[in-house]
Each structure stands twice: as structure tokens, then as C-alpha cells.
Structure 1
Amino acid sequence: MIVLVDTLCSVAFYCQRCGQIEIADVPVFSGHGDVVLTCSHCGAEKARLRLVPRKGLVIETGCVVCGQRNRVHYPLRQLRTMTLEKIYCEKDHFELGYIGKWQALAEFLDFNAAEYDALHPHDAYNFMEHQQILLEAFNRVHDLAEEGELFCPCGGHEFTADIAEDAIHLECTRCGSSAVIPAKTPDDLKQLQPGCEVAFLRPDLIRNR
């Protein structure tokens, strides 16, 4: 019996806009065109896939933390034996998604959600929702800054931003003052609206704490 294989592997990427994650099969495709994976929740592009002769599968995906696009490639022989691997941002090592066999990805995501719930029994959200809240909060902060709704007391309106475990850390590029914006629960997201107040601490106050 001949078994026809129509997929190379499966991938699961966090949407860099809303944080949703879902598993998608990578098709066996010919030619040099890209296969674009989009988020079924918000429609944002998650990744671009291309099969390059003698190189294998090339994946391009963005990262909201560093603002750059990442490119990774996997030889076909590696894909045939791969069970599961994590895909990270090349610059800041932020976790972007996973690649491997569909069943392995599904079990891994289910395990992570269950493990998070076990470690945080009083939280009303699981591991996947936690990632979604972080990414959505990061994008809301970015939108507020772009729309002129986010200001430092010094008058500055340009910031560097980093994602922590359950918060967004901002630093004013003008005076160095910093702020920590909670991004742990859905209620934290509700606070990130036009007109919201963000408490900044001056560098000298941080050193003296």
C-alpha cells in the first residue's frame, strides 16, 4: 500500500497581535510562492512559509518585542524526524511558537495549560490566555503611544518596552523614567484605554528605593 503524505509537519504560532495560538499543518507545496498563515481570530499574519530547494522549509515571522522579522529554516531530513521544537526570536529569545508533529504540539499545549492551572490555581485563566493577555497588552500600549495617548511626566512620548512575566515595562527615552503596566488579567486589559493614567518613576527614585 502506498501512503500519500500531504503535509511536511505542523506549526503553532502565537499571534503577535491578539496572542491566540492554533495548530496548522504545513502543506507539501511546490513552486516558490509563500504560504501565509493568518490568525483565525483577528486576521493578522502569523508567519510566511516557503519550501526552498536544497535548503528545506524557511519560516519568517515577526516579533512584537523587538519589532523585527525572524527567519529560521529546517532541512527536510530534520522535519521527517522532528517531534517538537520551540521557535524563538533571534534577538530577545521571546517564544514565538512551535514546530513538529501535530499530536506532539497538541499534547504540549494542553500540558502547558494544565501545568499553569496547577501552579496558579487562583488565577481565572490558563497558560494560553496568559500569553494572549501579554501580547494584547503590549500591542495596546504600542497603539496608545502611537496615538499620542501615552506621556511621561517629563513630556516625552517615546518609550522602549519589554514584556515581563505578567507586565509591560516601559522606559522613557527622554528622561529614563520607567513604569510597570500590569498585564496579568482581563481586568488589566480593560485599563489600557485612551485616557488611562500610567505612573512613571524617575531614575533617581528607583535607585533610592
Structure 2
Amino acid sequence: MLAICKREFIQSFKGFKSIIVIAIFLLTAYYSKSFADLLLSLNIDFTSEEKQIIQTIGISFLIMFFGMLFVMGLSHDTINRETHERTIRFLVTRTSRTSIIVGKFLGISLFWFACLLASFVIISIFVHDFDFIVLFQSTSLAVYYSALTVLLSVLIPKPGFTMFLSVVLGIAFPIFNGWLVLTTNNWVSWLKYIFPFYYLDEVNGMFLVVFLLAAVFVAIAILAFRRREC
């Protein structure tokens, strides 16, 4: 499992798309400071907590509204590519199917945590403060996206279709998720409990539920992968 995790983590850094994503994260972190200075220069009376949010609003906005697009864009074929190319047979003969799914999930999650951590470190250099809560909230989103990506890659056998789906979901997911949080329609409002944005509005650590939802997705992926012939 650890070997698969390490391989997936290193693999995530390779390729042109990953370089672009990392550059976007680092540039967003850098210019978040300029954005914060602009708002503070308007002499608006912000509380100390609001000032901390302003410093990290760029990264928070990026992971909330483009995180799904980034994660699926890089890792949409993490399982079905192996199945399609028959390389999965070499893995299942050396380790358990559970280890494959968990290793893939951890490797992808660690990659995005590394990107987020680097971004928050850059911000902290300029503002001389490190917002651990916002980092953990953003990480919970990245973990949720990673788990959902692995699940879809298990359920959908064709890499080409998951690539198309990554674009559609990447655009639609934050819009639909935000609408669920705001809607009062009782027929669909219950869906907000299986989406992450609802828990990010809470200030009492409810964002930890997002990690639990991710664990449920991984468990479903494991069950589905065990039933599949490789």
C-alpha cells in the first residue's frame, strides 16, 4: 500500500498538467497577499478573524470552485487506466485490492495536501501568520475530491469517459453544491448532507465530517473493485 501511495504521489507531479496546477496554486498564494492588502487599504473595519480569512481567501476560493476540476483532471484515470492497459494484473498479484485503492487515494490526497501546504507557507511568509483551520478545511475538500475521483475511476471502466466527466463535474459540482446549501426546496435540500460545502459553513469543526464522507467513498470503491474482474 505504501509503495502504491508513493508511486501515485510522485506520478502526480509528472506531466504538463500538474506543472500548470502547481503554478496556479503558487501564484494564487502569492497574489492573495496583494488582494488582502487592497481590501485592507479601503479602511474597512475588519475583525481579526476576518483579516485572517482575507489572507487565505484566494486559496480557499481556488480549492472550493476549481478543486474538483483540478483533482479529476489530473487523476480521473487512476484506476481505469490500469485496468484498460491490463497493468492492474501485476498489482493484484502482489498486493490486495484494498491496498491498491487506499494507496491510490492516499497518494492523490498527499499530492494535493503538499500543494495546499506550500501555498499556505508562502502566504504565511508575507503575513507572518499561519491559518491551520483554513488549511484543514481546504485539505478536507481536496481529500473529498480525491476519494470521489477514485470511486468514479473504479465505477467507470473507460478513461476517455472519465476525462469528459472530469470537465463536466469540475464545472457543475461547485455550482450545484452551492445551490444545495442555499435552496429551501425540501425535495433536494437533503442532498447537501452528502456534499462538502454545507459543513464548511460551520465553525465548530464540522468540516471533519467531510473526511468521513471521503472514507465512505473509499469504502464503496473498495467494495466495487473487489467485485470486478481484472
Greater radius of gyration (CA): 1
TM, length-normalised to structure 1: 0.27
Higher strand share: 1
Give the structure, 1 or 2, with the largest relative contact order (CA under 8 Å, sep 6 or more).
2
TM, length-normalised to structure 2: 0.25
Higher helix share: 2
